[in-house]
Amino acid sequence: MSSTETGTGTKIHVLGPLEQIPVGEGRAFAVDGKQVAVFRLREGSLRAVSAVCPHRGGPLADGTIDGQVVICPLHQHAFDLATGCSTTGANALQTYRVRLDREQNLVLETAPV
């Protein structure tokens, strides 16, 4: 993984090839001392949210997803993948921008603090 900082303070992290994530699943990455879960939706797009469930620390990258939400495997709280908001009343997740570069590598952006 490599990280670069843009002029605006946003950091760009290249997380490696897309193939690390099977279709419809998520994988966790350590980014800048934080844990980020990146999901590959079945329709092809990517989503990234904080990897630790705000409820009781469940591993969200092990969750089940659809086009909208990820469901935590421990107590089934659900979170909107685009906004991070919980649809079941838990605290919200941090969301991140994530995309592919030309070499089909995952690219994650972390905002300036």
Partner 1 sequence: MSRSGVPDARPRLVVIGNGMAGARAVEEIIARGGTEQFRITMFGDEPYGNYNRIMLSHVLAGDEDDGAIFLNPLSWYRDNGITLHAGVRAERIDRFTKHVFSSDGRVTPYDTLIIATGSRSHMPPMEGLYTPGGSVKHGIFGFRTIDDTRKMVAYAQHEHHRHAVVIGGGLLGLEAASGLRRHGLEVDVVHSGGHLMSAQMGPEGGAVLRRSVQGLGIGVHTGSRTTAVLGTDKVAGVRLRDRPDIECDMVVMAAGIRPNVDLAVLSGLPVERAIVVDDSLRVQDEDDVYAVGECVQHRGQVYGLVAPLWEQAAVLANHVTGADTGAAYLGSRTATKLKVAGVEVASMGLQGPELETDEHIVFSEPSRGVFKSIVVRDNKMVGATLLGDSRKVAFLTQAFDRGLPLPEERLGLMFDLGTPGQEVGVAELDDDAQVCNCNGVSKRALADAVKGGCTTVAGAMDATRAGKGCGSCKLLVGQVVEWAAGGAVEDDPAASYYVPGIPLDKQALMAEIRKRGLRSVSAVFQALAPGGREDAKSKMGLASLLKMMLADQYIDERDARFINDRVHANVQRDGTFSVVPQMKGGVTSVQQLRRIADVAEKHKVPLIKLTGGQRIDLLGIRKEDLPQVWADLDMPSGYAYGKSFRTVKTCVGQDFCRYGTGDSTRLGVELESRFQGLESPAKLKLAVSGCPRNCAESLVKDVGVVAVEGGRWEIYVGGAAGAHIRKGDLLATVDDPEDVKVLAGRFIQYYREQANWLERTYAFVPRVGIDHLRAVIVDDAEGIAGRLDEAMQASVDSYVDPWRERDDPQTPGQFRTSLPLTVLPQVPVR
- Point out which residues bind partner 1 (CB under 8 A): 19-30, 33, 35, 37, 42, 51-52, 56-67, 69-71, 73-74, 78
User: Does position 56 bind ligand FES by CB under 6 A?
Assistant: yes
Q: How many CB atoms lie within 10 A of CB 25?
A: 16
- Told to check if 74 binds ligand FES by CB under 6 A, we report yes
Nearest to 67 by CA among 41, 39, 98: 41
**Of 76 and 91, which has the nearer Cβ to partner 1?**
76
Binding part of the chain for ligand FES, among 11-19, 33-41, 52-60, 79-87 by CB under 6 A, reads 52-60
